[in-house]
Amino acid sequence: MSIKNQVEAIIFLGGDENKIKDLAKFFKISIEDMLKILLELKDDRKDMGINIEIDSEIVYLSTNPLYGEIINNYFEQETKPKKLSSASIETLSIIAYKQPITKSEIESIRGVSVDRIISNLEER
């Protein structure tokens, strides 16, 4: 395993909280050597969908601006409201009519588990 690949994996999981000095300290190398590795990674990924960004003291992943239009088109499509299933509508009807009501009371009325339905409704 190369240190470069290990650093890339850490950056992926670390979100935007990857401090360059912390990476250098973890790998027991100088900040300058870590910057060289990060610049290599950045150069390796320049034509890919995900880029490495170095911003003063932190490093993070970002989408490549070359793919901005396709990303926007995809997510615009995803933001269209999705229809509720008949089970979700039935569950919401029970909640509206009987409120306040517990999950177990809803399950008793419907005769089936509503765990997944409630989770999906909460996400919306």
Strand partners, 58: 19, 55
Q: pLDDT by residue (tens digit) across 48-62?
A: 999 999 988 999 999
The domain that holds 57 is classified in CATH as 1.10.10.10
Tell whether 76 is covered by a domain.
no
- Number of folded domains that form the chain: 2
User: Domain check: are 62 and 7 in the same one?
Assistant: yes
User: Domain check: are 94 and 62 in the same one?
Assistant: no
Q: pLDDT by residue (tens digit) across 73-103?
A: 888 775 566 788 888 899 999 999 999 999 9
Domain span at residue 108?
A: 86-123
User: Domain check: are 26 and 54 in the same one?
Assistant: yes
pTM of the model: 0.58
